[in-house]
Amino acid sequence: MTTAEPPIVTSVWIDATPDRVFPYFTDPARLTQWLGHTAELDPTPGGRFAVDINQRPVRGSYLEIEPPHRVVFSWGDAGSAQLPPGTSRVEVELVATGAGTTVTLRHHGLSGEVRADHARGWPVVLGRLVAAA
């Protein structure tokens, strides 16, 4: 991580069970329905997390996988000096809430303009996840 600033936190509620929502973070075909255009994923600890978002190659690795309740992966932009691959961490928790799932995403290790960009972006893409799932 690059900073001690608090994480960006974004939550959404999805009308689906955690079992149904979890694959949207581990299956390339489902991930690309809401985040990015292409993805190469190996959802095992240490496995590859690679997704291209609007011509931006995001690269990292899976750090923790606890289906269907938690997934953690590192995150960064290939070729970026501000946020190199794997230098920040995204934690996703899925909690059964009523008939659906509350998805809470915490993105750690961001500062400056990179932090502001992600603070604007995560609510938008999680809205797409709600529609996809």
pLDDT digits (tens, 9 = 90+) for 22-38: 999 999 999 999 999 99
Instruction: Tell me, yes or no, whether 1 lies in a domain.
Output: no
Instruction: Tell me, yes or no, whether 3 lies in a domain.
Output: no
pLDDT(16) > 80: yes
Residue 99 belongs to a domain with what CATH number?
A: 3.30.530.20
Residues contacting 10, CB < 8 A, separation 6+: 104, 105, 122, 123, 126
Of 5, 11, 1, the closest CA to residue 123 belongs to 11
Q: Identify the pLDDT of residue 4.
A: 66
pLDDT(3) > 60: no
Instruction: Tell me, yes or no, whether 128 lies in a domain.
Output: yes
Question: Total structural domains in the chain?
Answer: 1
Per-residue pLDDT, averaged over 47-56, amounts to 94
Q: pLDDT higher for 55 or 101?
A: 101
pLDDT(2) > 50: no
CA 99 distance to own-chain centroid: 23
